[in-house]
Amino acid sequence: MKIGVVGCAGRMGQMNIQEIVTTAGCEIAGGTEGAGNPAIGKDVTALAGLEPSGILVSDDPAALFAACDAVIDFTAPDATVAHARLAAETGTILIVGTTGLSFEQESVLAEAAKKTVIFYAPNMSVGVNLLFALTQRAAEILGDDYDIEVLEMHHRHKVDAPSGTALGLGRAAAKGRGVDLDAVSQRSRDGHTGARETGVIGFATLRGGDVAGDHSVIFAGDGERVELTHKASSRAVFARGAVRAALWTADQKPGLYSMMDVLGF
């Protein structure tokens, strides 16, 4: 499978390149960065600390999509929307790990999925996606007698909050309870907030250091707490999941897929 990487000079972009090159059945087909990025014109694989491949970083995503079977995208919401439209035009598979997309932006992905395969996951880690499933099941079993709080921590450079994974965990908990997350979500607390409302799903966000990603879902009842936690010690787990997803999508019909589909949950 010929796989390209948009945003190839970023931390996740480089990890995705490393994973593609070292995974059987894959080959790196190219990489792009935004106009003016100093990485443009440099060797794609050398940029990721590997042996040079002779493939140079470009600023032409349209050409990249035309040359690839699949493209991996861990960029920014506006860029991902543009890439989804390119994927629909070229019939190229798009693997999206970008977080912070709005409902309207997610709708663009869904529209593109009518013409090609779009894989979209707020977190590519196999362990985190197991956590999604466990969170939904725990919420079903424990019910409103247990207050739900989602706690996440990421490195100081992360720009969106709560993280896409935290919101995904909130949606899993809400699904387990049979409610709409938007109707019960509480994103911040400051000052005299009053007593906690029954049924609310709360979020707390921490930022600092180089934390790759820590997530916990806390079910707090009277006399006991149940805590489900995942801690990523390396971003490599996200690249591994993205390449695994790319290989899985090779035989799929156009549609919008997630890691839950890959894992059979």
- Beta-carbon count within 10 A of 68 CB: 24
- The sign of the torsion formed by the CA atoms of 8, 14, 19, 21 equals positive
Q: Which of 154, 175, 230, 231 is catalytic?
A: 154
Per the listing, tokens 């707390």 go with 204
What b-and-e string marks burial along 106-127, b requiring 16 or more CB atoms within 10 Å of the CB? bebbeebbeebbbbbbbbbbee
Give yes or no for a contact between 51 and 28, defined as CB atoms under 8 angstroms apart: no
3 state SS of 251: coil
Q: Is 230 a catalytic residue?
A: no
- Give the Å distances, CA to CA, from 173 to 12, 161, 170: 28, 18, 5
Give yes or no for a contact between 57 and 5, defined as CB atoms under 8 angstroms apart: no
Rounded distance between C-alpha atoms, residue 15 and residue 45, angstroms: 10
Q: Is 115 a catalytic residue?
A: no
Looking from the CA of 116 toward its CB, the CA atoms found within 13 Å total 23
Q: Which of 42, 115, 155, 158 is catalytic?
A: 158
Active site residues: 154, 158
